[in-house]
């Protein structure tokens, strides 16, 4: 049988050369030729052709700008990414760059992953100085494991190898290391989902009982990546209007929503459940919002345990001591105002800092828990190889929902009314300069007691303006309900949907 005539590849040379020099892969070029011209060629044969033609690959040159340097520095420190992870993050943002180029830019701005003896000694001395300072302020690092500690220090612009950091840490917190080693790890069951944004588990935080002292938390975690997508800390996280405002703020920030939300069946869920149903216009309610017992909402419940160990346990114990020693009473407005004034800003900073730390720490592979997806939550959520199930939010509908939030005047940042805040500011300003160091075990205790006592005198004198607390946004749902009614979303029906009766814990 005669052989088929040889193809004249010269007639395809301009197309092939153009595609190759624009950065197309061999596989992409072979697919293009087959689809557009019906010509079949293997990737190996194609590479030989290009070599015979002497065609160099002309990769687009990356323009090194101050913004690019700043972004690489941020990814290096704030998310503790490797060079390969930085490449993926930049590609996700539309910047084509190679690992080698990232390395060159890092070196140019003084960011090294390996240190000579002099650099290492300097870095260790700086870390010792930092740990000494923390002993007189927050002392947060005492409660961290090595992985969290490494990310925590990177986020504070310390560039030090892990082994050296461990050695310095052991100089200061040997007892904490022994305690963690002695703590037995309980066996846990588990599950996972196919990809990021498939389900967000959301819930209010009651685990460490800060709510009694006026501090409430609501958060959401992506079930696949364990990335914290949603975090609120303030004075009103358990009302429908506040959680609705939180969810609209989250959607406005991302421009998309998860395929489904998972929450317990609390009174605060009605509006954001209705919002999810409204935006998931092609889905049944049961497919986009899953109700169930809070104890089965395991992804967020487990993270509450991490938050409790990492941050909130200290504050719960500290506030409980204030109460036991007669230094705080929930029935006295002066005590509640003074506590929020001194401690809400610090607790917000610490807890949000913990969220950043969590999102950038590395989850290791676990031999006995094969369902656990290893990696950094930030990377798994932002540029995972798994299918991303995010659902774009229609801008027009989101704008309408934002107008409702604006009309409702729910201020997510406010924790004291403006006039009460001004009163506290004026009292504290009259004290002059505040101490530069803070007690590790009793932070701001002296200042709290002093402000509380002066607020009591202020109240006894019936001075104007009178002290008050931020009112919880309860009731007043008629305007919001009317909007959902116009969209044919029955909030009463949404609230009456039965909890799911399924075996898998979400």
Classify domain 199-414+476-496 by CATH number.
3.30.420
- Lowest-pLDDT range, 197-206, 278-287, 398-407? 278-287
Return d(Cα 67, Cα 3) in angstroms, integer.
58
Q: Model confidence over 426-454: pLDDT tens digits?
A: 999 999 988 878 887 889 999 999 999 99
316 in Cβ contact with 343 (< 8 Å): no
- What pLDDT score was predicted for residue 120? 80
- What pLDDT score was predicted for residue 185? 46
**Which residues pair with residue 203 across a beta bridge?**
219
Transcribe 77-136 into DSSP letters. HHS---HHHHHHHHHHTT----HHHHHHHHHHTT--SS--HHHHHHHHHHHHHHHHHHHT
Q: How remote is the C-alpha of 210 from its chain's centroid?
A: 21
Mean pLDDT of the chain: 83
Reply yes or no on whether the pLDDT at 111 is more than 80: yes
pTM for this entry: 0.72
């Amino acid at each position: 049988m005669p052989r088929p005539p040889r193809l004249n590849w010269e007639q395809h040379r301009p197309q092939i050369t153009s595609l190759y020099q624009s950065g197309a892969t061999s596989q992409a070029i072979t697919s293009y030729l087959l689809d557009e011209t019906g010509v079949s060629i293997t990737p190996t044969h194609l590479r030989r052709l290009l070599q015979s033609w002497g065609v160099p690959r002309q990769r687009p040159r990356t323009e090194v700008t101050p913004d690019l340097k700043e972004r690489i520095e941020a990814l290096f420190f704030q998310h503790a990414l490797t060079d390969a992870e930085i490449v993926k993050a930049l590609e996700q943002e539309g910047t084509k760059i190679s690992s080698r180029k990232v390395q060159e830019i890092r070196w140019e701005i003084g960011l090294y992953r390996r240190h000579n003896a002099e650099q290492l000694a300097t870095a260790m001395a700086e870390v010792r100085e930092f740990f000494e300072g923390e002993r007189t302020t927050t002392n947060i690092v005492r409660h961290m494991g090595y992985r969290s500690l490494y990310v925590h220090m990177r986020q504070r612009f310390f560039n030090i190898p892990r082994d050296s950091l461990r050695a310095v840490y052991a100089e200061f917190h040997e007892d904490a290391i022994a305690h963690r080693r002695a703590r037995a790890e309980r066996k846990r069951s588990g599950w996972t989902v196919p990809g990021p944004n498939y389900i967000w588990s959301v819930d209010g935080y009651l685990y460490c009982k800060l709510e009694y002292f006026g501090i409430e938390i609501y958060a959401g975690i992506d079930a696949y990546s364990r990335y914290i997508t949603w975090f609120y800390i303030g004075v009103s996280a358990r009302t429908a209007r506040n959680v609705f405002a939180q969810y609209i703020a989250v959607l406005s920030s991302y421009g998309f929503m998860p395929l489904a939300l998972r929450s317990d069946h609390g009174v605060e869920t009605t509006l954001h459940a209705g919002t999810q149903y409204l935006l998931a216009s092609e889905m049944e309610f049961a497919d986009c919002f899953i109700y169930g017992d809070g104890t089965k909402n395991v992804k967020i419940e487990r993270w509450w345990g991490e938050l409790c160990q990492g941050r909130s346990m200290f504050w719960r114990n500290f506030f409980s001591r204030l109460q036991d020693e007669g230094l705080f009473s929930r029935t006295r407005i002066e005590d509640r105002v003074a506590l929020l004034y001194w401690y809400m800003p610090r607790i917000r900073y610490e807890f949000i800092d913990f969220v950043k730390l969590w999102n950038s720490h590395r989850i290791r592979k676990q031999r006995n828990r094969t369902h656990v997806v290893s990696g950094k939550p930030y990377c798994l959520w932002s540029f995972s190889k798994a299918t991303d199930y995010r659902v774009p939010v229609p801008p027009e509908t989101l704008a309408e929902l934002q107008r409702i939030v604006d009309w409702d005047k729910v201020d997510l940042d406010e924790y004291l009314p403006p006039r009460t805040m001004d009163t506290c500011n004026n009292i504290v300003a009259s004290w002059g300069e505040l101490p530069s160091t803070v007690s590790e075990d009793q932070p701001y205790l002296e200042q709290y007691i002093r402000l509380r006592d002066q607020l009591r005198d202020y109240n006894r004198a019936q001075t104007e303006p009178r002290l008050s607390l931020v009112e919880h946004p309860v009731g007043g749902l008629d305007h919001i309900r009317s909007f959902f009614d116009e969209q044919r979303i029955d909030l009463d029906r949404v609230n009456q949907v039965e909890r799911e009766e399924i075996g898998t814990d979400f």
